[in-house]
Amino acid sequence: MKRTLGLMAAILALVWVTSSARGEDVHKGKVVSVSNGKLTMTDMDGKNEHTHMVPADATITCDGQTCKLDDLTKDCLVTITREKKGDSMVVTKVEASKTKTPK
């Protein structure tokens, strides 16, 4: 059991280091609203509301199909990927689903 937990911790650390090295940041949560290129969301518990500016060139999918930001509806589950560009973090990908949290 201890070996399994140690291995799991090592894998999670490797994933975190790989994402951090690429300058990626991933947020998972629920959609509150979408308006004028802004996505307002909460964490998975429905708390910690925050807003992301979503640029026009961001990749957006709904249940695995290409869609528009305006297609996202309240309470959709979303995974937001941001990458460091210059001095700021920019949304590059929005993955949404009505039934399960995307990867």
Domains in the chain: ranges and CATH: 24-97 (2.40.50.320)
Predicted confidence at residue 73, as pLDDT, reads 93
Predicted confidence at residue 101, as pLDDT, reads 65
What contacts 24+ positions apart, CB below 8 Å, involve 96-101?
96/31, 96/60, 96/61, 96/62, 96/63, 96/67, 96/71, 96/72, 97/62, 97/63, 98/62, 98/63, 98/73, 99/63, 101/28, 101/44, 101/77
Predicted confidence at residue 37, as pLDDT, reads 95
Predicted confidence at residue 92, as pLDDT, reads 96
What is d(CA 74, CA 83) in angstroms, rounded to the nearest whole number?
A: 25
Alpha-carbon separation of residue 89 from 22, 23, 48, 65 (angstroms): 12, 8, 19, 25
Say whether pLDDT at 4 is over 70. Answer: no
Predicted confidence at residue 16, as pLDDT, reads 44
When the pLDDT of each residue in the chain is averaged and rounded to a whole number, the result is: 83
- In this predicted model, what pLDDT tens digit does every residue of 16-63 receive, in sequence order? 444 444 578 999 999 999 999 999 999 999 999 999 999 999 999 999
Q: What is the pTM of this model?
A: 0.74
